[in-house]
């Protein structure tokens, strides 16, 4: 009788080890304070044509995320729009995992982007669609009058 249970026990152990190997590690939520900064677009990747495109040096594109929940969009230093923003965790279509999305209020329509990378110096926003783009930003250092 002991011999007949042996294959069952072995199968159970293999199943348990396979299930434990598939466990997902918890996703660290994005700290809103890390996002609060002035960010300059440096390049885009992906999109319908694919590839990497450096930012146009004639068009300085920036976004400023404030601690008060406001996002200001600038082109060559001139504000083009200001909108409220919030961070929402939801499953992403492209990754199948929970991601931190940035949702903008009026007048900027939500673009369904999530934060693909956020470090002290780098922000990557990814469109949540198969032919979407990644927008790569670099944190701008604070400047004082006349130093920029």
What pLDDT tens digit does each residue of the chain (148 aa) get?
A: 444 434 333 333 333 333 333 333 334 455 567 899 999 999 999 988 889 999 999 999 999 999 999 999 999 999 999 999 999 999 999 999 999 999 998 777 667 899 999 999 999 999 999 889 999 999 998 765 655 5
- Provide the domain limits for residue 46: 32-139
pTM for the full model? 0.73
- The Cα-based distances of 124 to 7, 43, 94, 109 in angstroms read 49, 10, 15, 19
Assigned domain for 99 exists = yes
CATH of residue 113's domain is: 2.40.128.280
- Which pLDDT value is given to residue 105? 85
- Which pLDDT value is given to residue 145? 60
Assigned domain for 2 exists = no
**Which of 112, 118, 110 minimizes the C-alpha distance to 136?**
118
Q: Structural domain tally of the chain?
A: 1
């Amino acid at each position: 009788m002991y011999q007949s249970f042996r294959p069952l026990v072995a199968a159970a152990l293999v199943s348990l080890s396979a299930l434990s190997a598939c466990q997902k590690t918890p996703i660290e939520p994005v700290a809103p304070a890390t996002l609060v900064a002035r960010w300059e677009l440096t390049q885009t990747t992906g999109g319908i044509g694919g590839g990497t495109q450096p930012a146009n040096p004639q068009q300085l594109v920036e976004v400023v995320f404030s601690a008060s929940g406001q996002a200001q969009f600038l082109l060559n230093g001139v504000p083009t729009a200001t909108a409220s923003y919030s961070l929402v965790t939801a499953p992403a279509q492209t990754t199948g995992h929970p991601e931190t999305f940035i949702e903008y209020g009026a007048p900027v329509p939500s673009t369904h982007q999530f934060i693909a990378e956020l470090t002290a110096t780098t922000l990557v926003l990814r469109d949540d669609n198969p032919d979407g783009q990644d927008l790569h930003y670099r944190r701008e250092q604070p400047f004082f009058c006349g130093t920029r």
